[in-house]
Amino acid sequence: MSSNEKLSIGQKKKLDRKLAKLQHVLKKESGATSSPNPTKNLAICNAGLVSGLTEEIIYEHFSQLGNLTDITLLPGKSCSFLSYDSLESSIKAYETFNGKLNIAQDNKAIYLLYVDQIPYLNDQRIWGELPPGLILLEDFISIEEENMLLNLCSFDAQPMKHRLVKHFGYEFRYDINNVDKDKPMSETLPVETNFLWSKLQQKFKPDQLTINHYTPGQGIPHHIDTHSAFEDPIICLSLSSPIIMEFKNNDKHLCFLLPQRSLLIMSEESRYDWTHGIVPRKFDIIPNNSGQGFTCLKRGTRVSFTFRKVLQGSCQCNYKSKCDSYNDIEDNVALELEAMHVHKVYNNIADHFSDTRHKPWPNVLEFVQSFAYGDILIDVGCGNGKYLGINQKIFTIGCDRSMGLIDICRQRQYEGFIGDCLSVPLKNSSADGAISIAVIHHLATEQRRLKALREMVRVLKPGGRALVYVWAHNQINNEKKSSYIMQDRKNRKVTQMDKLVTGQVDVPLQNGNVTLPVHNNRSNFQAKDVLVPWKLKDKNETTFLRFYHVFEENELEQMCQKIDNIQILKSYYDQGNWCVIFGKI
């Protein structure tokens, strides 16, 4: 039946009977009371969110008959509501669509009733309030400047499911929600955007720009821009059409209008703790200034420029529960994690690992050779013993957690025993020197790493010296890539496993799971606690994941400062490692 056909008397009676029944259903379902006389408010009695109805579909049809002022869908209900600004439009919609329009998933016609009031949606949406730390600067640029920036957008954009995007400076990868920090793009930020920063007294110097292009009906899902990817703040310039942006944090839900030509500065809490998003729809329902009723605002095409500064290192925010740089690994979890992703792995890869470790690093060699005839040096975490035989004048003993690696040391006629760096089986003050090269970064908590340092101090004689190497989070120092990154073999084929293991993995443990990112080998680290793949050269290319805590600049020094009876003699960066030489007082 087409919607403008008049109903026969029989059909009218049938419709009335149906509506009389639905009154009760509606009351029970939503609490709304139907009105015998026409009102500006209509209930769709038999279709709602559960039957696949959306605000969008309602808007699409009902806005053809007048100005809508509200659309309300109740979660989990099979009824919905709408309001017009005039009684006339509401009557027109009632007569045109009742028992005729087919818009729900069940392929049945919808039934309409007038209601006195639309039920209050139990949603804590607050209008116009901004989250803490957020600044909105209206009329930030002129119409001429807006046009100039819009002219920059005639490019080939990347089509996303819900919008078009284009990146400058660094590509934002939606698969890892991060940028490749060591792969800047050749296309840097357009110089035409530089004038913006003089308006902010040059306080902000972005190196990454994402342009989002939204046609009506498109949006962006709720998200927090990855903490470890960008510094604070994040700045969005809105062009071409206003839009409603939403911020959520726990049960708080704030909505406000981003006017055309406004600048949004997301900082601190609003940047780190709240999600932001734009609901994909063709209109926005905005409360009237008077505080009474709503207005449906038709969306136009909106273009936004999001400016960010790529963060080198890891995030130091105080919003740990939302922070990908922070891992709250508990002690009992740490034990299991190390057992599985350090000890077991080194036993399994011992031979292959040893084959790749021949050449002593020059600075370590120099340190070991600085000891005098007859001195005792302990190598905590000696691996295959590559530093054990390099100074014939001294007595060097190795100690490692891995039986496989100690076996290799013995085959090479070195002195080595199985021992844990957290309780080295040596007497207090028994060694003149100690080295720990690439060991304590395998411990999963700061407490345990500190304990390992204290253990080295304990076995040292007063006046003794120790050298510690740990992997650095930042593999590029003074714009020089470490050899670890440089080893990117030209024809290294990307295997299925490489693809499979990048991203986050759940490590199932008896004492609670931890989720850790798997590091993409030979690239800069994206997080402080990571699993680093080791691929065996067997037929199956079996891959093992080793746990690492990679160190920030000064992190190792700061730990040393917590130990009373030592003095830092030297600290430096060496090939992707942070290094400290300390002396026991």
Q: How far is the CB of 254 from ligand AKG (least distance, A)?
A: 15
Secondary structure of residue 305 in the 3-state scheme: strand
Closest-by-Cβ residue to ligand AKG is: 304
Sole residue written with tokens 């003993």: 397
210 binds, among Zn ion, Fe ion, ligand AKG, none (CB under 5 to 8 A by kind): ligand AKG
Could you give the CA distance from residue 163 to residue 219 in angstroms, rounded to a whole number? 7
Nearer to ligand AKG, 46 or 212 (CB): 212
Spacing of C-alpha 467 from chain mean position: 35
At closest approach, how far in Å is the CB of 448 from Zn ion? 23
Q: Show contacts with ligand AKG in window 485-524 (CB under 6 A).
A: none
Among ligand AKG, Fe ion, Zn ion, none, what binds residue 323 when CB lies within 5 to 8 Å by partner kind? Zn ion
Say how far apart CA 199 and CA 96 lie, in whole Å: 54
Calpha distance 158→163 (Å, rounded): 9
Instruction: Report, in Å, the least distance between residue 260 CB and Zn ion.
Output: 32
* Contact residues: Fe ion, CB under 5 A: 225
Q: Which does 386 bind (CB under 5 to 8 A by kind): Zn ion, Fe ion, ligand AKG, none?
A: none
358 φ, ψ (degrees, to nearest 5): -115, -50
- The DSSP H or E segment spanning 333 is helix 331-338
- Residue 50 and residue 279: Cα distance in Å, rounded? 19
559 near Zn ion, rule: CB under 5 A: no
Tokens 């003149």, residue located: 432
Measure the CA dihedral 325/226/577/444, to 10°.
20
What are the phi and psi torsion angles at 183 (to 5°)? -125, 70
Three-class DSSP category at 230: strand
- And the tokens for 128? 């116009």
Residue 540 has φ and ψ, to the nearest 5°, of: -85, -5
- The burial of 342, by beta-carbon neighbours within 10 Å (0-12 exposed, 13-18 middle, 19 or more buried), is given as buried
Q: Per-residue string for binding with ligand AKG, 523-562, x by CB under 6 A?
A: ----------------------------------------
Residue 225 or 284: the one with the smaller Cβ distance to Fe ion is 225
H or E segment at 486? helix 483-486
* Sign of the torsion angle spanned by Cα atoms 279, 281, 282, 284: negative
Q: Rule CB under 6 A: say whether 220 interacts with ligand AKG.
A: yes
Which is closer to ligand AKG, CB of 104 or CB of 236? 236
Tell me the C-alpha distance between 282 and 303, whole Å: 15
Q: Which does 271 bind (CB under 5 to 8 A by kind): Zn ion, Fe ion, ligand AKG, none?
A: none
Task: Check residue 212 for interaction with ligand AKG (CB under 6 A).
Answer: yes
With b for 16 or more beta-carbon neighbours within 10 A and e for fewer, the 194-217 pattern comes to eebeeeeeeebebbbbbbbbbeee
Instruction: Compute the least distance from the CB of residue 317 to Zn ion, in Å.
Output: 3
**Token digits for 107?**
């392929």
213 sits near ligand AKG (criterion: CB under 6 A): no
212 binds, among ligand AKG, Fe ion, Zn ion, none (CB under 5 to 8 A by kind): ligand AKG
CA 63/CA 210 separation, integer angstroms? 34
According to DSSP, residue 311 is labeled: P
CB of 310 to Zn ion, least distance (A): 14
Looking at residue 231, the DSSP 8-state letter turns out to be -
Q: In terms of CB distance, is 47 or 311 closer to Zn ion?
A: 311
User: Do 501 and 542 contact (CB within 8 A), yes or no?
Assistant: no
- Binders of ligand AKG among 267-306, rule CB under 6 A? 276, 304, 306
Q: For Zn ion, which residue of 110, 112, 323, 434 counts as binding (CB under 5 A)?
A: 323
Asked whether 306 and 213 are in contact (CB, 8 A), the reply is no
Closest distance between Fe ion and the C-beta of residue 214, in Å?
Answer: 13
CB of 232 to Zn ion, least distance (A): 9
**Residue with the closest Cβ to Fe ion?**
225
Measured from the Cβ of residue 345, the count of other Cβ atoms closer than 10 Å reads 22
From 204-212, 223-231, 236-244, 355-363, give the range in contact with Zn ion by CB under 5 A. 223-231
Q: Position 585: which residue type?
A: I
Question: What is the amino acid identity at position 498?
Answer: D
In contact, 228 and 473? CB cutoff 8 Å: no
Q: Which does 456 bind (CB under 5 to 8 A by kind): ligand AKG, Zn ion, Fe ion, none?
A: none
Distance separating alpha carbons of residues 272 and 356, to the nearest angstrom: 42
44 touches Zn ion by CB under 5 A:
no
Taking alpha carbons only, the member of 551, 545, 471, 550 closest to residue 508 is 545
Among 82, 113, 244, 315, binds Zn ion (CB under 5 A): 315
Residues in contact with ligand AKG, shown as a per-residue x/- string from 235 to 264 under the rule CB under 6 A = -x----------------------------
Binding-site partner at residue 236 among Fe ion, ligand AKG, Zn ion, none, CB < 5 to 8 Å by type:
ligand AKG
| Residue from 208, 210, 391, 445 binding ligand AKG (CB under 6 A) | 210
Instruction: Kindly state the smallest distance separating residue 225's Cβ from ligand AKG, in Å.
Output: 5
Q: Examine residue 227 and tell whether it contacts Zn ion (CB under 5 A).
A: yes
Min dist. Cβ of residue 306 to ligand AKG (A):
4
Q: Which stretch binds Zn ion (CB under 5 A): 320-328, 364-372, 506-514, 524-532?
A: 320-328
| CA atoms of 154 and 489, how far apart (whole Å) | 38
Instruction: State phi, psi for 515 to the nearest 5 degrees.
Output: -105, 125
Beta carbon nearer to Zn ion, 282 or 309: 309
Interface with ligand AKG includes 232 (CB under 6 A)? no
The item of ligand AKG, Fe ion, Zn ion, none sharing an interface with residue 315, based on CB under 5 to 8 Å by kind, is Zn ion
Residue 488 Cβ, how far from Zn ion at the closest point, in Å? 29
Q: Of 22-30, 224-232, 413-421, 484-492, which part binds Zn ion (CB under 5 A)?
A: 224-232
Site for Zn ion in 508-547 (CB under 5 A): none
- Binding site residues, Zn ion, CB under 5 A: 227, 315, 317, 323
- Binding site residues, ligand AKG, CB under 6 A: 210, 212, 220, 225, 236, 276, 304, 306
